[in-house]
Amino acid sequence: MKLRPFGILLSAALISSLRLAADETKTAKKSATMADHIITPDMVKFAAGPPVLPAGFELASLDGDMMKKGSEYTVRLRFPDGYKIPAHFHPGNEHVTVIQGAFWMGMGDKFDEASLKEMPAGGFHSIPKGVHHYGMAKGQTVIQLHGVGAWGITYVNPADDPRKKSAGK
């Protein structure tokens, strides 16, 4: 049986319609998933952070697994006024957005308060992997980090690493 040009067009239109319907179903499922994943500020739950940074900060995981290789992650960190993070670097790119307060950042091998630059609420900084940097909170500060795991931190001065301090207790 030969398909005439009209039959070919009708077949192509039918296949196209089926693909479009399948795509719409996928989009509807994604939309439902996205709506289920909306996180309002009152839903963010902070807990004491692990000893990868100096004691006193809190962490809230919003999405992904920052310790899993290849996982896109988003977390928030809450710091008290005056909180300092010694010079360090990461094995991957890190993106920092200030949500509340002011976070002050500097680049280099040693914490130098005089060289800190203010990142006010709404500020953003993209830090390439391996770049040595440090930070300080002024006022209660919340920052959001996002990137692709596995996240890690290496202190420029190993004596600054709180994991070594807590292991020595």
108-158 confidence digits (pLDDT tens): 999 999 999 999 999 999 999 999 999 999 999 999 999 999 999 999 999
| Cα dihedral value 152, 158, 159, 165, nearest 10 | 40
Counts of helices then strands in the chain (DSSP H, E): 2, 9
At the second CATH level, the architecture of 45-167 is Sandwich (2.60)
Query: What's the pTM value of the predicted model, to 2 decimals?
Result: 0.76
What pLDDT score was predicted for residue 141?
Answer: 98
What pLDDT score was predicted for residue 16?
Answer: 39
> What 3-state class would DSSP assign to 98?
strand
Averaged pLDDT score across all residues of the chain = 84
**What distance in Å separates the CA atoms of residue 146 and residue 64, rounded to the nearest whole number?**
10
For residue 143, give the nearest of 84, 37, 59, 69 by alpha carbon.
59
Confidence of residue 26 (pLDDT cuts 50, 70, 90): very low
- pLDDT value at 20 more than 90: no
